[in-house]
Amino acid sequence: RVRVFSGVQPTGHLTLGNYLGAVRRWVTEEQHRADALFCVVNLHALTVEHDPARVQRLSRQAASLLLAAGLDPEQCTVFVQSQVDEHLRLAYLMECTATDGEMRRMIQYKEKAAREQARGGSVRLSLLTYPTLMAADILAYGTDEVPVGDGQTQHVQLTRDLAVRFNQRYGATFVVPKATRPRVAARVMDLQDPTSKMGKSHARTAGTVFLLDEPEAVRKKVMRAVTDDGEGVVYEREARPGIANLLDVLAACTDGDPERLAEGYASYGALKKDVADAVIETLRPVRERHAELAADPAYVDEILRTGADRARDLAKPRVDAAYRAMGVGV
């Protein structure tokens, strides 16, 4: 079976973008067809200024949300990154494989570094080396496919480059993985600013739907979404980004096609109402199941512990082999 690995950062509450761009596909497709691992990558959350108690809380919440969304521990492996040391062991070897220039070319690094600096903060070194840890996350498991939204394709491409380079220099050790993207909603945009991606850590939250938002909050955010003043409802990503985004979200929630869906609407109001209903119904079971899981922390702990044990067993032989290949095996 193909090996699939993907992850989500607990830097903030999970968003509709995370769900439609990544998590939903893990639930409906990947866990059934592949040997899949899904990871709450909490070490990545330390690359920007953070509050320890908050990261701790959000990591648990993210894990519970993945289970609430439908990841089944009988079908796949769900775990938290910091519980498996192999990620960090391999990350260092990746730092010794990657170059400084490669790291500095990463779009996410440039954006996040600029954001930290604009806030008067300093840039953590780990923000620069972040893609080497992400490469380690993926390569440790012999991953074939990495189901992600559009924002992560550059990092997966870099991971491929590092795998190829390592294999050439030190001998065949890693599988060269590839990114896979969802059919729709690979890039859900902010409802207030449809030219920028919906993200967990935006300061303003009016344009971001969180998985745990109450139905009324979801409705308000969708009904107030910024649209454009063109005529009628048509699907044009460049010219009409606000409407296109709503159609993408509707298509993702209803398993439809955005261009087809556009034909069914004469007004923005009617479209928004259907989008709000669809998002609310999509998130309802997730929110309800999350509430149940939150009441049973021992159950979640047990799943994460079992998941980490399995992940460690899978990763260790390959990471050990990489140590030997690089000349630091024992």
Q: Please report, as residue ranges, which positions from 194 to 223 form the binding site for ligand TYM (by CB under 6 A).
A: 197-199
How many chain residues interact with ligand TYM (CB under 6 A)?
A: 27
**Catalytic residue (one of 197, 221, 272, 316):** 197
Annotation says 200 is catalytic: yes
Question: Beta strand 178-180 with 35-40: parallel, antiparallel or unpaired?
Answer: unpaired
The binder of ligand TYM chosen from 63, 93, 138, 139 (CB under 6 A): 138
Q: 6 to 35, contacts with ligand TYM by CB under 6 A?
A: 6-9, 17-18, 21-22
Question: What distance in Å separates the CA atoms of residue 301 and residue 67, rounded to the nearest whole number?
Answer: 12
Q: Shortest approach of ligand TYM to residue 231 CB, angstroms?
A: 27
242-266 exposure pattern, b = at least 16 Cβ within 10 A, e = fewer: bbbbbbbbbbbbeeeebeebbeebe
User: Which CB atom, from 21 or from 194, has the smaller least distance to ligand TYM?
Assistant: 21
Residue 330 CB, shortest distance to ligand TYM, in Å, is 27
CA distances from 245 to 72, 121, 135, 184, 256 (A): 30, 33, 30, 10, 14
Q: Which helix (H) or strand (E) holds 37?
A: strand 35-40
Name the residue among 81, 61, 73 with its Cα closest to residue 141: 81
Distances (CA, A) of 123 to 82, 116, 131, 194, 200: 22, 6, 15, 27, 19
Q: How far is the CB of 134 from ligand TYM (least distance, A)?
A: 4
- Taking CB under 6 A as the criterion, the residue among 5, 26, 265, 268 binding ligand TYM is 5
Single-letter amino acid code for the residue at 155: H
In the sheet that holds 145-147, the strands lie side by side as 77-80, 35-40, 3-8, 145-147, 178-180
For position 134 contacting ligand TYM by CB under 6 A, the verdict is yes
> Least distance in Å: CB of 153 to ligand TYM?
8
Active-site residue, selected from the candidate residues 110, 112, 272, 316? 112
Closer to ligand TYM by CB, 14 or 276: give it.
Answer: 14
User: What is the smallest separation between the CB atom of 327 and ligand TYM, expressed in angstroms?
Assistant: 26
Question: Near ligand TYM by CB under 6 A, which window of 5-13, 239-247, 274-282, 317-325?
Answer: 5-13
User: How far lies 223's CA from each of 60, 80, 116, 228, 233, in Å?
Assistant: 31, 36, 32, 14, 15
Query: Is residue 73 involved in binding ligand TYM (CB under 6 A)?
Result: no
Among 3, 24, 25, 44, binds ligand TYM (CB under 6 A): 44
In contact, 76 and 30? CB cutoff 8 Å: yes
Determine, following the binding rule CB under 6 A, whether residue 163 of this chain makes contact with ligand TYM: no
- Judged by CB under 6 A, the chain residues 176 through 195 that form the site for ligand TYM are 185-188
Lookup result for tokens 């107030």:
224
- Which range of residues in 143-151, 251-259, 285-293, 309-317 is near ligand TYM by CB under 6 A? 143-151
Q: What angle do CA 95, 117, 80 make, to 5 degrees?
A: 45
- In the DSSP assignment, the letter for residue 85 is T
φ/ψ of residue 106, rounded to 5? -70, 130
Known binding-site residues for ATP equal 9-11, 17-18, 188, 197-201
Least Å distance between CB 208 and ligand TYM?
9
> Tell me, what DSSP letter sits at residue 329?
-
Pick the binder of ligand TYM from 34, 40, 41, 249 (CB under 6 A).
Answer: 41
Q: What angle do CA 134, 290, 226 make, to 5 degrees?
A: 75
Catalytic residue status for 272: no
221 is catalytic: no
List, by residue number, the catalytic residues.
112, 197, 200
* Residue numbers at the binding site for ligand TYM (CB under 6 A): 5-9, 17-18, 21-22, 41, 44, 134, 137-138, 146, 148-149, 151-152, 155, 185-188, 197-199
